[in-house]
């Protein structure tokens, strides 16, 4: 691995150049405003920082997410925690409740911020800076090495991979991927449980 682009494209960790960047973050004030917009709803919030999930309350949502990702979670006072910008805010809810979260998102307004939010899994709704996308993050990382995204191959499975799949020279989607992701890809490979990425690389590269 030469570099990692994480957090939807807002985080770059380049091991060759020894560069770490957090780009296009959300301010503490904005994060609080977003959380307040959903305060009466059946959901929780989390911010991933340095490999730990931080949440304002302890419930099944944060416990299940931490267990599923195999990482630690901590319940903290967000008024104290939110003293610096973070890459993104995640809303966690039951999958059956997600349509209500999405509907509520339509009424969020901030004159200084054009909301960029989307469903990334059946139980996660994420807020990021509008400039954050996987393709933009990849372009910023590649630019450090004078490489174009058109020279790259990208693998994905969800709707938040679509821009990357479309802009990469070759976009490949897992068989278990979303319908829209498959529409954006050049190829469909086997699913994640059948070593889809490995199968594709072995066959074509």
Question: What are the residue boundaries of the structural domains of the chain, listed by start?
Answer: 28-128, 150-205
Cα–Cα distances (Å) from 162 to 17, 26, 182, 186, in that order, read 28, 23, 9, 11
Among the ranges given (22-26, 95-99, 142-146), the one the predictor scored with the smallest mean pLDDT: 22-26
Residues of the chain with pLDDT > 90, as a percent, come to: 79
Give me the mean pLDDT over the 16-37 stretch.
93
Beta carbons of 192 and 177 less than 8 angstroms apart: no
CA separation for the pair 55, 40 (Å, rounded): 16
CATH 3.40.50.300 fits 150-205, yes or no: no
pLDDT at residue 115, rounded to an integer: 60
pLDDT at residue 160, rounded to an integer: 83
pTM value > 0.75: no
Same topology between domain 28-128 and domain 150-205: no
Residues of the chain with pLDDT > 70, as a percent, come to: 99
Sign of the Cα torsion 147, 152, 158, 161 reads: positive
CA-closest candidate to residue 189, choices 161, 157, 159: 157
Beta carbons of 164 and 156 less than 8 angstroms apart: yes
Would you place residue 1 in the very low, low, confident or very high pLDDT band (cuts 50, 70, 90)? Answer: confident
Q: Is pLDDT of 179 > 90? A: yes
Would you place residue 148 in the very low, low, confident or very high pLDDT band (cuts 50, 70, 90)? Answer: very high
Give me the mean pLDDT over the 56-63 stretch.
97
The CATH architecture of the domain made up of 28-128 is 2-Layer Sandwich (3.30)
pLDDT at residue 80, rounded to an integer: 95
Would you place residue 132 in the very low, low, confident or very high pLDDT band (cuts 50, 70, 90)? Answer: confident
DSSP 51: T
Q: Is pLDDT of 76 > 90? A: yes
Q: Is the model more confident about 116 or about 183?
A: 183
């Amino acid at each position: 691995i030469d570099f990692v682009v994480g957090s939807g494209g807002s985080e770059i960790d380049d091991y060759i150049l020894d560069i770490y960047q957090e780009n296009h973050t959300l301010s503490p004030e904005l994060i609080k405003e977003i959380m307040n917009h959903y305060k009466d709803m059946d959901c929780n919030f989390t911010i991933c920082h340095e490999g730990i999930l931080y949440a304002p309350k302890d419930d099944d949502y944060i416990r299940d997410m931490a267990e599923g990702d195999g990482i630690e979670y901590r319940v903290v006072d967000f008024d104290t925690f939110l003293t610096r910008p973070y890459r993104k805010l995640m809303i966690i809810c039951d999958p059956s409740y997600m349509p209500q979260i999405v509907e509520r998102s339509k009424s969020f307004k901030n004159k200084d911020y054009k909301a960029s939010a989307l469903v990334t899994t059946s139980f996660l709704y994420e807020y990021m800076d509008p400039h954050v996308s996987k393709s933009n993050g990849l372009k910023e990382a590649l630019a450090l090495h004078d490489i174009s995204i058109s020279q790259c191959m990208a693998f994905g499975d969800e709707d938040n991979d679509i821009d990357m799949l479309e802009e990469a020279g070759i976009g490949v989607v897992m068989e278990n991927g979303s319908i829209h992701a498959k529409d954006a890809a050049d190829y469909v490979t086997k699913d994640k449980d059948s070593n889809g990425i490995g199968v594709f690389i072995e066959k074509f590269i």
